[in-house]
Structure formats: structure tokens, C-alpha cells
């Protein structure tokens, strides 16, 4: 998709972080395998990952609800989403921790992508558990590079006794993959 190529280049020039190409390839595999229809993204930034995922899931009627805490990034993301013609993406300018999540997200979600404030990943998981099912797939970005900031995430996973896999996608980074959620 041409807009993604342009957006990746622009983000690199402006030093705006977006998903890596390795994470992008991983998301492609996961979204093709699991075929989610109701997706959620925590911190959509300027819309790159929303557009990428939205394009992959639109043919089967999939939808994405994305949250971005920075209002300028949210507005830029809206413009990028509009230009991409991905009409299956709804974006909100909220911190997901304060958003009326059950009103804004159709539940249960099939897939969640988290790429926000690393120290808040555990809090995001507590919010997400309210709208997931035992079959929800979760991908959490940047778990190797920022492992020292993920205390709340590991506390949450231990408390809920959740199984996860850490997949190294690049020499210095990777994702956490949670295929089944077992909330006790």
C-alpha cells in the first residue's frame, strides 16, 4: 500500500516511532492465521499500524478500534487513516486506562495489539481483560528492548497465571505473544 510506504518514510524522517518491519511481518502472519474480526490497538500513534492491520482484515469484515493518548498524533492518524481509505478503523483520542472501554469497543475482541507506554502495559492488560474472551490473541510490542520497564506487565501475567511467548524478531527486540487468555 503506497500510503504505508510514504508514511514509513515520513515517520523515519521525523523520528516518529512506528512498528518495525519485523513486527509488521509477524502481525501479517498472526492476522492471516487467526482471522480476527474485532480488533483493538492501544496507542495508534499516527495510524501506521492501524492502517496496516486494517488493510489485512477488511476483506473478512474486520474492524479495529484504536486509542491514542497524544491529541496531535491522534489528529495526524485520523488524516492518514482517511487518506488510506481504510473505513474499518475507528480511532479515539483517549488514554485507554480512562476511556469508557465497554462503550467504545465491541466485545469480545479477537485480537489486541499493544504498543504504548511500556511501564503501563500491565494496566492496559487489566483494562483489556474486560473485553476479551478465552480465545483473544494479544501481541505486545517492544518487550525485549524495554524489558526493564515491564514490571507491571509481568506482575499482571503472574497474578493471572497467563502463559505467553516472547519472540525475538530483531537482534535487540521482539514481541510477546499471548494466544489464549485464562483469567482466574
User: Over the stretch 56-107, which tens digit does the pLDDT of each residue have?
Assistant: 999 999 999 999 999 999 999 999 999 999 999 999 999 999 999 999 998 8
Instruction: Report how far residue 27's alpha carbon sits from residue 127's, in angstroms, rounded to the nearest whole number.
Output: 22
2-178 belongs to CATH 3.30.1640.10: no
Is the pLDDT confidence value at 180 over 80? no
Q: What pLDDT is recorded for position 96?
A: 95
Q: What pLDDT is recorded for position 177?
A: 97
Instruction: Report how far residue 164's alpha carbon sits from residue 144's, in angstroms, rounded to the nearest whole number.
Output: 14
Quick: pLDDT tens for 25-50.
999 999 999 999 999 999 999 999 99
Among left, alpha and beta (phi > 0; psi -120 to 50; other), residue 145 is alpha
Backbone angles phi, psi at 140, to 5 degrees: -120, 125
Between residues 134 and 64, the one the model is more confident about: 64
Tally of residues, the chain: 184
The domains of the chain are located at: 2-178
Q: Which three cell numbers stand for residue 97?
A: 486506562
Helix%, strand%, coil% for the chain, nearest 5: 45, 25, 30
Q: What pLDDT is recorded for position 41?
A: 98
For the whole prediction, is pTM greater than 0.85?
yes
Instruction: Report how far residue 176's alpha carbon sits from residue 184's, in angstroms, rounded to the nearest whole number.
Output: 20
Stretch 158-176: mean pLDDT, rounded? 96
Degrees, nearest 5: CA angle 51-55-59: 150
Backbone angles phi, psi at 34, to 5 degrees: -90, -20
**Is 97:120 a contact under the CB 8 Å cutoff?**
yes
Amino acid at each position: 500500500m503506497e500510503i504505508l510506504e510514504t508514511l514509513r518514510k515520513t515517520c523515519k524522517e521525523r523520528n516518529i516511532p512506528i512498528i518495525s518491519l519485523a513486527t509488521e511481518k509477524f502481525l501479517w502472519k498472526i492476522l492471516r492465521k487467526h482471522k480476527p474480526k474485532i480488533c483493538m490497538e492501544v496507542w495508534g500513534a499516527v495510524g501506521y499500524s492501524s492502517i496496516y492491520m486494517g488493510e489485512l482484515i477488511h476483506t473478512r469484515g474486520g474492524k479495529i478500534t484504536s486509542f491514542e493518548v497524544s491529541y496531535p498524533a491522534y489528529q495526524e492518524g485520523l488524516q492518514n487513516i482517511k487518506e488510506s481509505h481504510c473505513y474499518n478503523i475507528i480511532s479515539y483520542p483517549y488514554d485507554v486506562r480512562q476511556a469508557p472501554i465497554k462503550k467504545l469497543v465491541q466485545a469480545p475482541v479477537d485480537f489486541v495489539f499493544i504498543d504504548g507506554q511500556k511501564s503501563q502495559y500491565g494496566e492496559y492488560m487489566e483494562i483489556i481483560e474486560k473485553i476479551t474472551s478465552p480465545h483473544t490473541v494479544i501481541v505486545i510490542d517492544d518487550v525485549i528492548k524495554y524489558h526493564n520497564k515491564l514490571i507491571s506487565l509481568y506482575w499482571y501475567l503472574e497474578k493471572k497465571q497467563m502463559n505467553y511467548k516472547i519472540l525475538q524478531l530483531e537482534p535487540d527486540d521482539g514481541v510477546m505473544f499471548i494466544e489464549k487468555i485464562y483469567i482466574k
